[in-house]
Amino acid sequence: MSVSTLGYVVVESADLPKWRSFASEAIGLMEGAPGPDGSLRLRIDQRPFRIAVVPGSAERFLAAGWEFADEAALAACLDSLRQAGVPVAAASAADAENRAVRSLYRCKDPSGNALELYTGRHVDYLPFASPRGLSGFVADEQGMGHVVLPAPSLEETRAFYLQHLGFGDSDQMWLQMSPNPTDPKLGIYFMHARNPRHHSLALMGAPVPSGCVHIMLQARSLDDVGYALDRCIAQGIHISSSLGKHSNDMMVSFYAQTPGGFDLEFGCDGLEVDWRTWVPTTSLIPDLWGHRWSPPPQKS
């Protein structure tokens, strides 16, 4: 019943042109054909989309789409959820078609994050062509990348993904966020699906107003990352974190604030793992170097 990959994410926005400018002009994603719901669809490989920006009245993260290898794996997950009393809703055929999948179901985790569980993702084989000349993305069998979700009910939420969706533990961190040593540390669990990516999901033990901490896309080269960083700076996009290298997944990346209020981590050279021999770790530091964080400017 294990999840294979993070297939896509869905966000809501009242300003699709701003998202188009950020994603296509600054980062270099390819714009796909609009969705039946009028969504802006952003591509990084031969899937019809990896990010869908749905027109609406708010700027927020809506859902993560988790891909299962086949109907049997999806059915086992759904059975586990229902036996645990988790409400699961089957999406309509039109909704499944809108997401470019064969079978689609929806539920929420214990922290209230919306999940879309599916199998049978459509592939249109249109070659990826970046409007900014990116060499490409590490995606395909590793999925879109990863997503970090808020999980105020941290332990319960981690157990949910382990028991019902078949994730495995990759790493954990307990970070002192305050100079006061008596303040509780912030817990983060990094979890892997059935692919070599170090983590497809991370859970952070705190609420986040936008509904997401960050999403990550992995480019094929450091030059792709560096040029994107320069474009973001030139276009006045807030750089939440400078270039740096993480300790646990070895990703070299920077973070830029998306129009949705959450961050996009844009990186390269992430660790690929053989899960048959991996032993889950506890990282005592988040970064080997860099990643200097800056809060967004205060709105007047």
CA-based nearest residue to 117, from 83, 70, 150, 158: 70
Question: What is the reported pLDDT for 55?
Answer: 98
Whether 52 and 191 map to the same domain: the answer is no
Domain hosting residue 275, numbered range: 140-290
Whether 160 and 279 map to the same domain: the answer is yes
Question: What is the reported pLDDT for 300?
Answer: 58
Q: Which amino acid is at 159?
A: A
Question: What is the reported pLDDT for 179?
Answer: 83
129 within a domain of the structure (yes/no): no
Going residue by residue through the chain, which has 300 residues, state the pLDDT in tens, using 9 for 90 and above. Answer: 699 999 999 999 999 999 999 999 999 999 999 999 999 999 999 999 999 999 999 999 999 999 999 999 999 999 999 999 999 999 999 999 999 999 999 999 999 999 999 999 999 999 999 999 999 999 999 999 999 999 999 999 999 999 999 999 999 999 988 888 888 899 999 999 999 999 999 999 999 999 999 999 999 999 999 999 999 999 999 999 999 999 999 999 999 999 999 999 999 999 999 999 999 999 999 999 999 999 988 765
Q: Which amino acid is at 140?
A: D
Backbone angles phi, psi at 222, to 5 degrees: -65, -35
296 within a domain of the structure (yes/no): no
Whether 160 and 275 map to the same domain: the answer is yes
Whether 215 and 84 map to the same domain: the answer is no
Whether 110 and 144 map to the same domain: the answer is no
Task: Compute CA distances 270 → 120, 188, 216, 293, whole Å.
Answer: 27, 18, 11, 20
Question: What is the reported pLDDT for 181?
Answer: 81
Backbone angles phi, psi at 158, to 5 degrees: -60, -45
Whether 108 and 161 map to the same domain: the answer is no
Global confidence as pTM: 0.97
Write the CATH number for 275.
Answer: 3.10.180.10
Task: Compute CA distances 124 → 46, 103, 145, whole Å.
Answer: 6, 17, 20
131 within a domain of the structure (yes/no): no
Question: What is the reported pLDDT for 22?
Answer: 98
